[in-house]
Chain A
């Protein structure tokens, strides 16, 4: 179970650490299970939050090039290099 969740979360847990992760997460989930004790009838219609206010859809200058240059893991000729996704042959 923990291994499957780690896959979904895009994390790798070494086999040797799995028992510790499983034990810690089971204790936490066991604690969370007390939510089951709230009787179903106690639940209202569900959360009714205020609607999200929207700002006008107007173009604004972005933080653009400087932020990209400073933060991209890999750059080439002023462009961010991303891993090959299509046609990599594997």
Chain B
């Protein structure tokens, strides 16, 4: 099945070779045919998508130049899109209707994109397997008995299955890159401050970023170009120019120092992941890069730092869900019971766990020992990265410590689940851009991913290195078995 990617679809629609309506109809037919098995979508918004596609066709006919003309996209269910619900796969927001487009959706719409549906996710983006969705379980297209990764597992599975050429997720500690690696697609987390979060339901505000999932690095660069840039509605966005990410793709790596992360190569690494990392080293060397080793010592404690800071911020952000302003309200007489019962019924177990952990870390008497220590350790991690980036232009490590695990394998053991993010959390804590690129299939046919990290606002170098790696890796351009 030949399903053109983002850039190719946009070119075809812009040149009038295919209509946006035809492209949308084909995407909807693929979803209809295949999503019964994968359950990547919480809702397919076919009628609205066709209406948007008709509007795109009119704009193309009127001569508008649209970088995403008629490109069908899947959007994670924590992002605001006009006319659609945004439930975070949570009971507490099951009927939430946003007041309009968030900034990312508005920019995509302006560029000609068409929104075909809402993607499943871990509730409030808390998880690494999408099993924490309060609604449904999503399956990995490469092996339906395995997780698609998470929390943006629905978006990753939908792109891997080629239902749509691209999708969007949010990444707080790896929620775009980890599912991208598990599903054999590209996933980009831009620099903190690069992309507006207006219209993204907040989880951990010092970490959350929105980014694309696509089949190729070039497609990711196109989607990134459209959404990046300062926004008056999100005061954490910065005015630093985005350069020309698509031109950067063809720069090559001859002028780049590619640093391999020493801390990622230690014992305990899955042998196939270790072999994959060696393959990456060869690819960069063969492409002409200067390959060096870099050390980020505090990467080893990044999961500990992350679960204090992200949980603390989550406990604060999610305090707003109390049954008074949003969602189902428990019928209780006194106000305190109303809060408690609405929250107890509305949140799932993992969300409660993070809220409890965050409340503990911020509690009087524990604040300094946990939140204070984590904030200082985070600064030390950032300093480590600054030193590493003095020796290398980009840093390379695996995206995931092992291929996608089986459904249910880690649900009883939250700490083991948390450790699946060991390679993605460091870039999140340091606010760095990072991209996961599909690298190999394991002996049993499961995808692995290699991650490239850049310095803050260094997305251009990131795209150059990621494109060179993609060309050398030769990840199979085949339809995953569950949808073939």
Contact = CB atoms under 8 A, between A and B. Distances in A.
Given A9-B356, A11-B347, A55 B235 contact: yes
B376 A44 contact: yes
B232 interface: yes
B235 A11 contact: no
Interface in B307-365: 307-308, 315, 319, 322-329, 333-336, 338-341, 343-344, 347, 352-353, 355-357, 359-360, 363
Interface in B166-198: none
Interface SS of chain B:
helix
Contact of B324 (A21, A47, A82): A82
Contacts of B308: 32, 35
Interface stretch (B35-43, B278-286, B297-305): B297-305
Contact of B326 (A9, A73, A85): A73
Contacts of A27: 414-415
Which size class do A's interface residues fall under?
Answer: 35 or more
Contacts of A80: 325
Interface in A39-90: 42-44, 46-48, 52-55, 63-64, 66-67, 70-74, 80, 82-83, 85, 88, 90
Contacts of A36: 369, 373
Contacts of A83: 324, 335, 338
A63 B324 contact: no
Given A11-B340, A24-B353, A35 B377 contact: yes
Given A25-B353, A70-B97, A11 B344 contact: yes
A6 B415 contact: no
B229 to A, nearest CB: 14
B295 interface: no
B377 A47 contact: no
A10 B324 contact: no
Interface stretch (B119-127, B219-227, B378-386, B474-482): B378-386
Given A10-B322, A11-B340, A31-B304, A90 B334 contact: yes
Contacts, number: 136
Contacts of A66: 99
Given A28-B415, A31-B415, A9 B359 contact: yes
B357 A28 contact: yes
Contacts of B315: 9
Contacts of B238: 53
18 contacts: A2-B356, A5-B363, A9-B315, A9-B359, A11-B343, A11-B356, A25-B360, A27-B415, A28-B353, A29-B357, A31-B415, A35-B301, A35-B373, A47-B375, A47-B376, A55-B232, A67-B98, A73-B327
Interface of A: 2, 5-6, 8-13, 21, 24-25, 27-29, 31-38, 42-44, 46-48, 52-55, 63-64, 66-67, 70-74, 80, 82-83, 85, 88, 90
Nearest first, the 4 closest Cβ-Cβ pairs linking A and B are A63-B99, A67-B99, A73-B329, A70-B97
